[in-house]
Amino acid sequence: MTTPVPQQSGPQQSGPQQSGPRQFGPLQAGPPSGGTGHGPGFVAAVFETSALTKRYPGAVNALDQLSVRVGPGIAGLVGANGAGKSTLIKILLGLLTPTSGQAAVLGLDCARDAERIRARCGYMPEHDCLPPDVTATEFVTHLGRMSGLPPTAAKERAAESLRHVGLYEERYRQIGTYSTGMKQRVKLAQALVGDPQLLLLDEPTIGLDPAGRAAMLELVSRIGTEFGISVLVSSHLLGEIEQICDHLVVIESGRLLRADSMTSFTGVSQVLVVEVDEGTARLEAELAARGLRPVREDRVLLVQIGAGETYDLVRDAVADLGLPLNRLEQRRCHVEELFRDSAASRGGREGAA
């Protein structure tokens, strides 16, 4: 059966043909169909790009020489609005043709094997593109049929997908009567219905309130950890990405800023955080007198860790002043700092020019 090509404006996706409904579970061992076997310990890339470039008319570079490789797990794709996130996802799905460079998903070339890639992926688009006059079960069942499932299996699979996203009791309501959060869950359910190996979620928390964002993130986390499905989740909300992702790809103006494991992004820094209940100004002066260079940030002092005596100097200063110590720890890095450092570096270059 030929898998239909989904339109960019709709939430359509396709999955592998199946003779009956399958349970959510871990990926099958071994390389993707059409791939090449490798020795023990090899971890195949879920997706990878090489010098990937996409130019639009008007000299707009959506992607600029992007080279990145991401393994299994939950990966975050982070960047400001217009950074090229949606363009990258559509190229990975074979919905857009790159200007130059290469991209592969699950070992399949995005230019040559677009339909085979879509048969293994679920796609949750950013924009609200759901038909308002059909029920959730009708819509998700239809997408299951498009993915190759027979009628009965598609209906069963749709019910299972809607149960997983928390819409089982509401599945017979028309989508037009749903709240924004419920519509986002329908989009997630249709991405799951084909039992994909990879989910590509474009801004899944857009338009949601804090409670709705937290619930959506929990769903995405469960899909990655309990179901064993790899996930690429795009977002411009950095705090959300830090909560659920194993890997992070940060792009800015179509260029790769950094790609690494989340622990590498949020590991401890060489900065000591010192917080006291009172007397912060006195402690700041005392630390400076002892040869340190404390920096005030809200209620805390930040001290660069140099030689091994930095901890001792801070401890002794607090004790000598008789101040109540609240916190003394190494500061953890935050993803936001990567963007601030990049902006500061860019501003410095522009100023020098």
pLDDT digit string, tens, across residues 288-306: 999 898 999 888 999 888 8
Query: pLDDT-based confidence at 13, cuts 50/70/90?
Result: very low
Specify whether the backbone of 166 is left (phi greater than 0), alpha (psi in -120 to 50) or beta: left
Query: pLDDT-based confidence at 82, cuts 50/70/90?
Result: confident
**Residue 30 has what pLDDT?**
33
**Residue 353 has what pLDDT?**
41
What is residue 137's three-state secondary structure? Answer: helix
- Does pTM surpass 0.85? no
Q: Read off the pLDDT of each residue in 32-49 and give the average, rounded to a whole number.
A: 58
82 or 152: whose pLDDT is higher? Answer: 152
**Rounded to whole angstroms, how far apart are CA atoms 59 and 253?**
13
Between helix 151-164 and helix 180-192 the angle, nearest 10°, is 130
CATH 3.40.50.300, the chain: domain bounds: 47-265
Residue 42 pLDDT greater than 80, yes or no? no
**Residue 265 has what pLDDT?**
73
Residue 183 pLDDT greater than 60, yes or no? yes
CATH superfamily of 268-332: YebC, transcriptional regulation domain (3.30.70.980)
Please provide the average confidence, as pLDDT, over all residues in the chain: 82
Residues 6+ apart with CB under 8 A from 147: 3, 13, 14, 15, 16, 17, 119, 154, 193, 194
Query: pLDDT-based confidence at 329, cuts 50/70/90?
Result: confident
Longest dimension (CA), the chain: 79
Which residue, among 85, 93, 171, 161, has the nearest Cα to 126 in the 3D structure?
A: 85
Q: Read off the pLDDT of each residue in 35-55 and give the average, rounded to a whole number.
A: 72
**Residue 157 has what pLDDT?**
95
**Residue 127 has what pLDDT?**
87
Could you read off the pLDDT of 83-100 as tens digits, one per residue? 899 999 999 999 999 999
Pick the range with the lowest mean pLDDT from 39-48, 116-125, 284-293. 39-48
240 or 76: whose pLDDT is higher? Answer: 76
Segment of 25-39, 137-151, 317-331 carrying the highest mean pLDDT:
137-151
Beta strand 74-78 with 230-235: parallel, antiparallel or unpaired? parallel
CATH 3.30.70.980, the chain: domain bounds: 268-332
**Rounded to whole angstroms, how far apart are CA atoms 193 and 61?**
34
Residue 3 pLDDT greater than 50, yes or no? no
Residue 2 pLDDT greater than 70, yes or no? no
CATH superfamily of 47-265: P-loop containing nucleotide triphosphate hydrolases (3.40.50.300)
Residue 193 pLDDT greater than 90, yes or no? yes
